[in-house]
Copies of this chain bind each other. A is one copy, B any other.
Amino acid sequence: MDTMGRHVIAELWGCNIDKLNDREAMENVFVNAALEAGAEVREVAFHKFAPQGVSGVVIISESHLTIHSFPEHGYASIDVYTCGDTIDPNVASDYIAKALEATEKETLELPRGMGPVQAEKSKAKAKV
């Protein structure tokens, strides 16, 4: 398998606070985001923290999706990493931003598995 991958790092602000604190809803959003992008889901692990916040991961055949939510700040820290060139990680991150009702989304895309880590493909801050 080729080592080449695309890793989208997304900072979501102004999200729906109730959703950010709902483990089951978050799990559904992430599994559906993976499927929407055409990925194959392998493992799903989500954890609810007290008093608030959810961390979770969906391992896909093509790598992973992760989230760490901070409901008190309306903030969600998202990663979508896909190996190969058949899946666009932005499809999943856009799906997640919409599902969490983020009012602001900032992303950076990193190529992975191609030698030195580079960050040239960063995108401008953009409203969703």
Contacts and interface: CB of A to CB of B under 8 A. Distances in A.
Interface string A18-39: 0000000000000000000000
Copies in the complex: 2
Contact of A1 (B46, B70, B117): B70
B45 A68 contact: no
A113 B77 contact: yes
- Size range of the interface on A? 35 or more
Interface stretch (A85-93, A94-102, A104-112): A104-112
Interface of A: 1, 3, 5, 7, 9-11, 42-47, 49, 53, 55-57, 59, 61, 63-64, 66, 68, 70, 72-73, 75, 77, 79, 81, 83, 106-108, 110, 112-113, 115-117, 119, 122, 125
